[in-house]
Amino acid sequence: MVDAVTRDQQEFVYRLALSLARSTIDQLDGSIHKFLSELGHRLRADRSYLIMFDDATQTISITHEACLNGAPPQRDAIKHTPMARFPWLLDQLQRFPVLVIPEVEQLPHAAEEEKLEFRRESIRSLMLVGLQLEGENRGILGFDFLDLPTTRDPETERFLLQIADVLGASVHRQILASSNVRFENSLYRYSEQFPGVIFQFRVYPDGRATFPFISDKVSDMFGLTADMLQPDARPLLDLIDEQDKASFSEKVDESRSQMTPFETHFRALRHDGSTAWMEARSMPARLADDSIIWHGYFYDVTDRKRSESEIEQLAFYDALTGLPNRRLLRDRLAQALNSSTRDQSHGALAFIDLDNFKNINDSAGHLIGDELLIQVGQRLQQTVREWDTVARLGGDEFVLVLKGFPTETPSAAACVDKVCEKVRSALNEPYCLNGIEYTGTPSIGVTLFFDHDTSLEELLGQADMAMFRAKEDGRNCIRFYDSMMQKKVSERLAMESDLRLAVRKKQLEVHYQVLVDQNGQPVGAEALLRWCCPGRGMVSPAEFIPLAEETGLIESIGYWVLEEVLSRISSWKTLNSPLAKLPVSVNVSARQFHLPSFCSTVMALLRKTGASPRNLKVEITESALAYDLELVEETLGILRSMGIRISLDDFGTGYSSLGYLKRLSLDELKIDQGFVRDILDDPNDAAIAETILALASALRLSAVAEGVETKGQLDRLVRMGCTRFQGYYFSRPLPAQEFERFIEKAGRDRQRRAW
């Protein structure tokens, strides 16, 4: 029953079952009506309804109905309506559990009567499901469509069958209950029609129990006759399952002392040797001699119990491994937190992620992957103790909730570590998957909890964080969450909120670093962002740019930098100084570059500040190219057509292929400072730098060597043919005014030399 319907439908069935089971008899009508109307919406039906059969009068009546889209109700029209008016339909429902009528007009000749009925009500198509009570068709769950045709769809049919099951049980309850109100006066008359056993149960003040009345069905079920039970209730009470006897007596006592209705479920041994679930309901009354007499009924709910447990299985367990799912995990974790408080013991939550699971899934196929997950689930269950929980979150993620460790944190941690180590080595053992041996490893992240000191959400986050640490640390290992990890996270959060303020509080500044030619003459500048944060001092962009990218703050920061730099360039425009012609490079991060508005923003800022596009260079890193290449080409094309130059930053560290470079409109490559740093000592780095230079010259791009700090590096680069340089050897990045003085002085020195 479980596997064919969608998750969403399962949820619906589950919700329906729970809500009906929780409704009191008085609320039941309302709940059924609510679900009918939800069902109607789902199926796009104009009318959804329940019809019940009355065998005694051979009539049918609509008992519940939900009309949508202004469809007229039928409740009054179908009330004690003779069954004979629907001969074909009722016959079909005896044979098939679901009856779909895709088009009323195409009904077969045998259904002439029905066709007329439906036509009169302007019904175009229908879906009908038989309601089974005690194995017999006792009603219909139906849907009318006034305008739409319907089609047969196995999935919907299975879903409706489940719904009908659940509704059937409730209607059953309702029938029994409504009968219950009346039957006290006329036990005999009704008992025959009852699907269960009707009884009067009397407990005398001395504790003796009898059944003054019990209907004959008791002998079908339990092989006991009314005559046997009238003087002594014990033979029947003895058949109650050992596991349920205590709670049964408790319920009787409670009902007797408080005079409240007696309601319970219990298992009992049937005549045929099978165990059946019974549901009993009855009302107590006090007699003159102080005996208590209950009027009530019990009946077989084995089928319903079974479907309830199937539903529970659906809602709380992972279908592949049968392990608790995320929902049940939450529940178990909440219980574990409670027992930690109660017993003053430590508990632990462990996140387990299989290393490289994706590889096996992709290469060997999903079936093998599934098989591995099943086996992992089994090993986990065999490894932990019976009171621990093994859950699967989905994918290759498993979670353990471990309980009952010492109060002292260090010894608790040591014990938990032992358990996790056992888990790790169990998962390291080779697996046999479809005859092929496979070895795999897990990464395990663990966090401890004690006495509700952490919330459920926090714990899940902590274990997850620790698991990532285990991955980072080379996999197949166990890492405990520690407060340092948390500290880093909190620091990041604090930095993020400070950074948000930075733009508004004018804590950002742009510094400029000169680019020179082989004679040391300025040929450009790079704008480099600085954050002067009170309390943190000068924060390097290397530290906060990645954070700004992750949080999206880079968009406003990037805008601010562009505006600041372009205003500066514009203020230099009219100066009679080398500054007027100096191109300035601005770093643009991938996320900023890929904003659809990027080009138009640059254009608007150029207009607003009056800066010339010839003086602007945009620096992007290789990571910006890793997206949609066509989009990148387009953006670069637009920028170049505006007269802006493009520079590829940190070249050599990314994945740019030659193909890329040829296709894109670039002006400049910047050799990453990592290659320049060791250019004198590391032949590899030297070779790379040389290759980049050769490549640049082949593609007619200019090349800039970044991070030049010494004369030795400079000389080597010059010998390799490099003509553009940037680095501390020439100048550090300087605040704007200092940079202006620096350039003007360089200009004067040059003139002086020229004289």
Which stretch in 65-73, 257-265, 313-321, 586-594 sits in contact with ligand C2E by CB under 6 A?
A: 586-594
| Cβ pair 195, 299 in contact under 8 A | yes
Distance of alpha carbon 554 from alpha carbon 563, whole angstroms = 14
Q: Which of 529, 579, 714, 717 binds ligand C2E (CB under 6 A)?
A: 529
CB of 713 to ligand C2E, least distance (A): 9
User: If contact means CB under 5 to 8 A according to the sort of partner, which of Mg ion, ligand C2E, none does residue 387 touch?
Assistant: none
User: If contact means CB under 5 to 8 A according to the sort of partner, which of Mg ion, ligand C2E, none does residue 707 touch?
Assistant: ligand C2E
CB of 619 to Mg ion, least distance (A): 4
Is 538 a binding residue for ligand C2E by CB under 6 A? The answer is: no
How many Å separate Cα 373 from the centre of its chain? Answer: 19
- Biggest CA-to-CA distance, the chain: 134
CB of 584 to Mg ion, least distance (A): 11
What H or E segment, with its residue span, contains residue 480?
strand 478-480
CA angle (367 as vertex; 364, 371 as ends), nearest 5: 100
Q: Count of residues binding ligand C2E (CB under 6 A)?
A: 23
Burial 165-178 (b: 16+ CB within 10 A, else e): bbbbbbbbbbbbee
Q: Which of 302, 601, 673, 691 binds ligand C2E (CB under 6 A)?
A: 673
State which residue, 282 or 587, has the beta carbon closest to ligand C2E: 587
User: If contact means CB under 5 to 8 A according to the sort of partner, which of ligand C2E, Mg ion, none does residue 340 touch?
Assistant: none
Report the relative pairing of strands 346-354 and 389-394 from DSSP bridges: unpaired
Is 540 a binding residue for ligand C2E by CB under 6 A? The answer is: yes
Sign of CA dihedral 23, 28, 31, 35: positive
Beta partners for 531?
508, 539
Q: Which of 215, 587, 609, 635 binds ligand C2E (CB under 6 A)?
A: 587
Binding mask 691-730 for ligand C2E (x = CB under 6 A): ---------------xxxx----------------xxx--
Which stretch in 1-9, 24-32, 81-89, 587-595 sits in contact with ligand C2E by CB under 6 A?
A: 587-595
CA distances from 4 to 7, 36, 161, 382, 579 (A): 9, 22, 12, 30, 73
User: If contact means CB under 5 to 8 A according to the sort of partner, which of ligand C2E, Mg ion, none does residue 540 touch?
Assistant: ligand C2E
Q: What is the DSSP string of 135-180?
A: TEEEEEEEEEESS------HHHHHHHHHHHHHHHHHHHHHHHHHHH
User: If contact means CB under 5 to 8 A according to the sort of partner, which of Mg ion, ligand C2E, none does residue 188 touch?
Assistant: none
> Which candidate, 63, 73, 61, 95, places its Cα nearest to that of 144?
73
State which residue, 390 or 562, has the beta carbon closest to ligand C2E: 562
Is 555 a binding residue for ligand C2E by CB under 6 A? The answer is: no
Is 589 a binding residue for ligand C2E by CB under 6 A? The answer is: yes
Binding mask 489-528 for ligand C2E (x = CB under 6 A): ------------------------x--------------x
Sites for Mg ion among residues 592-621 (CB under 5 A):
619
Report the relative pairing of strands 668-671 and 702-705 from DSSP bridges: parallel
Is 144 a binding residue for Mg ion by CB under 5 A? The answer is: no
State which residue, 100 or 582, has the beta carbon closest to Mg ion: 582
> Which candidate, 152, 109, 106, 150, places its Cα nearest to that of 126?
150
> Which candidate, 508, 635, 644, places its Cα nearest to that of 566?
644
CB of 469 to Mg ion, least distance (A): 30
Alpha helices in 365-482 (DSSP H): 366-383, 409-428, 456-472
Beta partners for 645?
617
| Cβ pair 523, 731 in contact under 8 A | no
Could you tell me the two tokens for 190? Answer: 């009704």
Distance of alpha carbon 436 from alpha carbon 755, whole angstroms = 84
CB of 575 to ligand C2E, least distance (A): 24
State which residue, 157 or 649, has the beta carbon closest to Mg ion: 649
CB of 554 to Mg ion, least distance (A): 14
Is 388 a binding residue for ligand C2E by CB under 6 A? The answer is: no
User: If contact means CB under 5 to 8 A according to the sort of partner, which of ligand C2E, Mg ion, none does residue 215 touch?
Assistant: none
| Contact partners, residue 693, CB within 8 Å, separation at least 6 | 671, 703, 720, 721, 722
User: If contact means CB under 5 to 8 A according to the sort of partner, which of Mg ion, ligand C2E, none does residue 561 touch?
Assistant: ligand C2E
| Cβ pair 441, 476 in contact under 8 A | yes
State which residue, 62 or 528, has the beta carbon closest to ligand C2E: 528
CA angle (470 as vertex; 469, 474 as ends), nearest 5: 110
User: Residue 486: exposed, middle, or buried by beta-carbon count in 10 A (0-12, 13-18, 19+)?
Assistant: middle
CA angle (674 as vertex; 672, 680 as ends), nearest 5: 115
CB of 624 to ligand C2E, least distance (A): 10
User: Which value, in Å, is the radius of gyration of the alpha carbons in the chain?
Assistant: 40
Sites for ligand C2E among residues 627-656 (CB under 6 A):
649-650
Sites for ligand C2E among residues 454-493 (CB under 6 A):
none
State which residue, 192 or 543, has the beta carbon closest to ligand C2E: 543
Sites for Mg ion among residues 455-474 (CB under 5 A):
none
State which residue, 587 or 623, has the beta carbon closest to Mg ion: 587
Q: What is the DSSP string of 229-289?
A: HTT--HHHHTTB-HHHHHHHHHHHHHHHHHT--EEEEEEEE-TTS-EEEEEEEEEEEE-TT
State which residue, 613 or 733, has the beta carbon closest to ligand C2E: 733
Q: Which of 89, 376, 499, 545 binds ligand C2E (CB under 6 A)?
A: 545
Q: Which of 405, 465, 733, 739 binds ligand C2E (CB under 6 A)?
A: 733
> Which candidate, 667, 553, 576, places its Cα nearest to that of 614?
667
State which residue, 354 or 565, has the beta carbon closest to ligand C2E: 565
User: If contact means CB under 5 to 8 A according to the sort of partner, which of Mg ion, ligand C2E, none does residue 541 touch?
Assistant: ligand C2E
Which stretch in 282-290, 396-404, 579-587, 610-618 sits in contact with Mg ion by CB under 5 A?
A: 579-587
Is 587 a binding residue for Mg ion by CB under 5 A? The answer is: yes
Q: Is 523 in a helix, a strand, or coil?
A: strand
Residue type, 443: S
Q: Which of 65, 650, 685, 690 binds Mg ion (CB under 5 A)?
A: 650
State which residue, 65 or 650, has the beta carbon closest to ligand C2E: 650
User: Residue 348: exposed, middle, or buried by beta-carbon count in 10 A (0-12, 13-18, 19+)?
Assistant: buried
State which residue, 221 or 588, has the beta carbon closest to Mg ion: 588
| Cβ pair 129, 164 in contact under 8 A | yes
- Under the rule (CB under 6 A), what is the footprint of ligand C2E? 513, 528-529, 540-542, 545, 558, 561, 587-589, 649-650, 673, 706-709, 726-728, 733
- Under the rule (CB under 5 A), what is the footprint of Mg ion? 587, 619, 649-650, 706
